Amino acid sequence: MLMRLTTASLLALLTLAASAAAQPAAIDAREKREVVEAAARVLERDYVFADVAQKMGTAIREQLQTGRYDAVLTKDDFAARLTEDLRAVSHDRHLRVLHAPEFVRNRQQPPDDAARQASEAWRARRERQGNFAFREVKVLPGNVGYVRFDGFSDAPGAFPVAVGTMAFLANSDAVIIDLRSNGGGSPQMIQLLSTYFFEGEPRHLNSFEYRGANTIEQTWTLPFVPGARRPHVPLYVLTSAGTFSAAEEFTYNLKNLQRATIVGETTGGGAHPVRTEPLTEAFAIGVPFARAVNPISKTNWEGTGVEPDVKVTAAAALDTAHRLALEKLATSEADERAKRYYRWALDELVAREQPVILDAEALQRYAGTFGQRVISVEGGQLYYQRGSGRKMRMIPMGPDLFRFEEMDSFRLRAVRDGGHVVAVEGLYDDGTSDRTPVITP
Chain segment 348-358, per-residue pLDDT in tens: 999 998 899 99
Mean pLDDT of the chain: 92
**How high is the pLDDT of residue 6?**
46
Q: What percent of the chain has pLDDT over 70?
A: 95
pLDDT of 435 higher than 50: yes
129-143 exposure pattern, b = at least 16 Cβ within 10 A, e = fewer: ebbbbbeebeebbbb
Of the listed ranges 23-32, 161-170, 251-260, the one predicted with least confidence: 23-32
Band (pLDDT 50/70/90 cuts) for residue 418 is: confident
8 band by pLDDT with thresholds 50, 70 and 90? very low
What does the pLDDT read at residue 109?
A: 81
Whether residue 79 contacts residue 97, with contact meaning beta carbons closer than 8 Å, is answered with yes
pLDDT tens digit sequence for 277-329 = 999 999 999 999 999 999 999 999 999 999 999 999 999 999 999 999 999 99
pTM of structure = 0.88
Least confident span in 2-11, 27-36, 127-136, 196-205: 2-11
Task: Indicate the fold that domain 1-319 takes in CATH.
Answer: 2-enoyl-CoA Hydratase; Chain A, domain 1 (3.90.226)
Contact partners, residue 222, CB within 8 Å, separation at least 6: 191, 192, 195, 202
* pLDDT in the model for residue 22: 57
pLDDT tens digits, one per residue of 344-385 = 999 999 999 889 999 999 999 999 999 999 999 999 999 999
Q: Which is more confident, 119 or 56?
A: 56
